């Protein structure tokens, strides 16, 4: 499997760039795991650990072994990761021991986990099906009776659930209370930023996530929310740079390559968009989003032939295919072909609102100014704010 990935790497990247712009073995292992190739993932994760042993790589190997039902071996790696970085495995170490039938070790792992400040509440531990093996043991009662180390932990879990179900007003009420009483609780600031993002209220979201990072700077989840907020504030280069910078906190946040590529494309940094979409395709070779970004970045650099060649690697023709091919035609000044493809994409997925932006440009280039303005106004109504620039520039 590693050999296959390295061959793909050589195909996708010019030889001059392989030395400095490549994905590492741990990332290939994570991609194989995500793609469901567990045997290959197991081999690659062992190689990654031999190259460099880190808590994240230990956790990855543990997760792979856990997925293969090798619970005893998984528990060893979860334990090793916890020794390197306190509590990094969460409940998984105890779960693995429980499923392996190592009851004493499972209870010991639970006792240790109860001392971690960011653990889940007792109720979630009690409801975890992996602990069924422990519930007939007399020691289980002590698990049920354990008090939460953080007085605000249940409020944070409730707030998270409220955010996921779009009940942000209730989430704000809980989180404001936690922040008032415990202003150093970085998780509360992060969750409140999430709630602001759900409400599309980006400025306070940015303020809160920046404060959460000041309190706790090494959480990749926080950096990714910062990048997402910057993206929706149309600070595309900053967002892309943040997604790439976040990889130093977790090299296995593989989607950051795609997010960065998309953001660089929006910032019109087409070379960077090409670079990071290619890197993502090394790990997920048929990902339609990455293929779209790569083909569009090539088209915007004037290489329409290469753009079409890349686009034709898509396994099926969906809305994103026609949208991307429409952009290639638009860049190649074959405007009617572009309009036809944008129409097909719109029929397949009416929620791709940026199509109105691009189709409007194609209409304008054919002298159909009324059609162009109608499309740009439709884009603007659907929060594609770039349409403002087109309406101002092409009055």
**Average pLDDT of the segment spanning 59-75:** 97
Q: Pick 342 or 121 by higher pLDDT.
A: 342
CB count in 10 Å sphere of residue 353 = 17
CA 163 to CA 152: how far, in whole Å? 16
**Average pLDDT of the segment spanning 50-54:** 96
- Predicted confidence at residue 88, as pLDDT, reads 84
CA 304 to CA 100: how far, in whole Å? 56
- Predicted confidence at residue 118, as pLDDT, reads 67
Task: Calculate what percentage of the chain has a pLDDT beyond 70.
Answer: 93
pLDDT at 307 over 50: yes
- Predicted confidence at residue 108, as pLDDT, reads 92
- Predicted confidence at residue 95, as pLDDT, reads 96
Contact indicator for 360, 379 with CB cutoff of 8 Å? yes
What is the pLDDT confidence band of residue 15, given thresholds at 50, 70 and 90?
very low
Q: Rounded mean pLDDT of the chain?
A: 90
- Predicted confidence at residue 10, as pLDDT, reads 32
CB count in 10 Å sphere of residue 93 = 28
CA 347 to CA 354: how far, in whole Å? 14
CA 23 to CA 84: how far, in whole Å? 24
pLDDT digits (tens, 9 = 90+) for 120-143: 777 788 889 999 989 999 999 888
pLDDT at 32 over 80: yes
pLDDT digits (tens, 9 = 90+) for 227-267: 999 999 999 999 999 999 999 999 999 999 999 999 999 99
- Predicted confidence at residue 75, as pLDDT, reads 97
What is the pLDDT confidence band of residue 218, given thresholds at 50, 70 and 90?
confident
- Predicted confidence at residue 310, as pLDDT, reads 93
- Predicted confidence at residue 93, as pLDDT, reads 95
Nearest in space to 277 (alpha carbons), one of 5, 21, 4: 21
Q: Pick 221 or 16 by higher pLDDT.
A: 221
pLDDT at 329 over 70: yes
pLDDT at 183 over 60: yes
Q: How far is CA 308 from the centre of its chain?
A: 27
What is the pLDDT confidence band of residue 149, given thresholds at 50, 70 and 90?
low
Rounded to two decimals, what is the model's pTM? Answer: 0.85
């Amino acid at each position: 499997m590693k050999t296959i990935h390295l061959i793909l790497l050589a195909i996708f990247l010019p030889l001059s760039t392989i030395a400095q712009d490549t994905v590492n073995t741990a990332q290939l292992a994570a991609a194989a795991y995500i793609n469901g190739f567990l045997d290959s993932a197991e081999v690659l994760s062992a190689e990654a650990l031999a190259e460099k042993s880190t808590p994240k790589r230990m956790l990855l190997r543990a997760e792979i072994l856990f997925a293969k039902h090798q619970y005893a071996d998984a528990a060893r790696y979860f334990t090793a990761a916890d020794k390197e970085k306190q509590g990094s495995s969460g409940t998984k170490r105890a779960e693995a021991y429980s499923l392996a039938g190592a009851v004493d070790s499972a209870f010991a792992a639970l006792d240790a986990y109860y001392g971690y400040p960011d653990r889940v509440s007792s109720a979630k531990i009690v409801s975890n099906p992996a602990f069924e093996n422990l519930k007939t043991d007399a020691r289980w009662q002590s698990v049920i009776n354990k008090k939460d180390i953080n007085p605000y932990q249940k409020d944070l879990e409730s707030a998270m659930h409220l955010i996921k179900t779009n009940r942000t007003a209730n989430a704000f009420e809980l989180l404001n209370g936690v922040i008032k009483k415990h202003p150093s609780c970085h998780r509360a600031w992060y969750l409140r930023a999430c709630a602001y993002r759900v409400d599309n209220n980006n400025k306070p979201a940015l303020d809160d996530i920046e404060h959460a990072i000041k309190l706790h700077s090494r959480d990749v989840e926080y950096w990714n929310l910062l990048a997402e907020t910057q993206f929706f504030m149309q600070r595309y280069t900053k967002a892309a740079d943040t997604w790439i910078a976040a990889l130093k906190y977790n090299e296995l946040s593989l989607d950051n390559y795609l997010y960065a590529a998309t953001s660089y494309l929006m910032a019109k940094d087409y070379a960077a968009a090409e670079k990071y979409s290619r890197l993502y395709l090394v790990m997920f070779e048929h990902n339609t989003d990455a293929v779209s970004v790569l083909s569009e970045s090539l088209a915007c650099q004037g290489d329409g032939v290469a753009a079409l060649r890349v686009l034709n690697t898509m396994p099926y023709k969906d809305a994103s295919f026609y949208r991307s091919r429409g952009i290639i035609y638009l860049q190649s000044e074959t405007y009617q072909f572009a309009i036809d493809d944008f129409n097909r994409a719109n029929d397949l997925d009416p929620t791709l609102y940026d199509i109105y932006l691009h189709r409007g440009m194609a209409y304008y280039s054919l002298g159909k100014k009324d059609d162009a303005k109608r499309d740009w106004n439709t884009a603007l109504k659907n929060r594609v704010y770039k349409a403002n620039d087109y309406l101002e520039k092409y009055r």
